[in-house]
Amino acid sequence: MKLLSPLALVFALCLSGCDAFDTVREGYAHSQAVSTRLEKAVGVKSFVGFNWNNGTLTSVSVTFERVPADVQLPAIVKLATEAVAAEFKQKPKQVVIGFAVQP
């Protein structure tokens, strides 16, 4: 078991120089920025997920923790697509917007 820790450290160091690691790290920062921006605009917290394929942003999903009471759906769509394009610095092939609903 003690051998696993040094191997894991070496693997992590090798991976940290990898473009894939940088993409995930930057993507996470972008998703947090989109979430913060949307919370300020809509008044509801959201979770933002993303999918990259060969350097292309293929999809972004925005799931709000509830349905906003004061903002209409077309406005939410506009705000979300604008925030995604601005923060990720590219337009994805699709943006999926959802709402958590308590049964």
Give the CATH number of domain 4-99; options: 3.40.50.300, 3.30.300.30, 3.40.50.150, 3.30.420.40. Answer: 3.30.300.30
Taking the domains of the chain in order of start, what are their residue ranges? 4-99
- Write down the pLDDT at residue 103: 86
User: Which amino acid is it at 22?
Assistant: D
pLDDT tens for the 103 residues of the chain, in order: 445 555 554 555 454 455 554 556 677 888 999 999 999 999 999 999 999 888 889 999 999 999 998 999 999 999 999 999 999 988 999 999 999 998 8
- Predicted TM-score (pTM) of the model is 0.74
34: how many CB neighbours lie within 10 A of its CB? Answer: 25
The residue to which tokens 């601005």 are assigned: 86
- Write down the pLDDT at residue 25: 62
- Write down the pLDDT at residue 20: 53
Q: Are 36 and 46 contacting, i.e. CB atoms less than 8 angstroms apart?
A: no
Among residues 37, 52, 97, 51, the alpha carbon closest in space to that of 73 is found at 97
